[in-house]
Amino acid sequence: MHHNNMGETVTLNVGGSVYSTTLSTLQRYPESMLGAMFGGDLPTVRDARGNYFIDRDGPLFRYILNFLRTSELTLPCDFKEAELLRKEADFYQIEPLIQCLGDPKPLLPYPTDTYEEVVELSSTRKLSKYSNPVAVIITQLTITTKVHAMLESISSSFTKWNKHMMDSRDYQVSFTFGPCDHQQEISLRVHLLDFISKAGFTIRNTRVHHMSERANENTVEHHWTFCRRARRVNG
């Protein structure tokens, strides 16, 4: 997909809700999933009417789109879906919006017989600008947790992503893969976030750190912390 006219209008069908916007709005954050989709790095899907289709929460996309238009997050006073909106921001990989949403509300203190099991997911992404127009990405993903069953299930479920090597040590599993494109890199992170959530873990916080090493290369670090309650086992 090659676009010359950034002002051209685009119609999106997000989970049944239809939105109209411009290409330049969707590409405001080139590193985001929408930036990759509409920059030609990710394949797009069309519905029967020819609208671009995204299978996500339709009504919440209103806030995503307004953020892309203004770079400001404005929510109604009685807004109760911050957790859901955070998941959408994570899905679309819009880093400034993830930062605006801040940390999730702290979970209530647990009774004394429960404690938290924690999974840390960190991703280091190197973006080389040598290979325009498609950026080449090398990513190292490390998952750290003392929940062995979780590490084993990740190791066995994500073997197809093991492009270079997978390192399984005590309490951690690391994937190093690349060079790859936006699609593979975002897809792996979205799948991992989803996989860890389905195992009963909740995202507690998200951190994003940008480092510009040289003019032609950027490094981005992501860090997610997930928690779930667990019964204390009396030894």
Query: What does DSSP assign to residue 44?
Result: -
- Asked whether residue 1 is domain-assigned, the answer is no
Q: Are 84 and 23 found together in one domain?
A: yes
Cα torsion 21, 22, 27, 33: sign:
positive
- Give the least confident one: 90-99, 126-135, 168-177: 126-135
Torsion of CA 200, 57, 181, 213, to 10 degrees: -80
CB 38 within 8 A of CB 28: no
pLDDT tens digits for range 103-142: 555 555 555 556 678 888 888 877 665 555 455 667 778 8
pTM for the model: 0.53
pLDDT tens digits for range 11-69: 999 999 999 999 999 999 887 888 888 887 677 889 999 999 999 999 999 999 999 99
Q: What is the CATH number of the domain that holds 23?
A: 3.30.710.10
Q: Are 130 and 206 found together in one domain?
A: yes
Q: According to the model, what pLDDT value does residue 164 have?
A: 47
Tell me which residue range forms the domain holding 120.
Answer: 116-231
- Asked whether residue 204 is domain-assigned, the answer is yes
Domains held by the chain: number: 2
Q: Are 67 and 120 found together in one domain?
A: no
CB 25 within 8 A of CB 69: yes
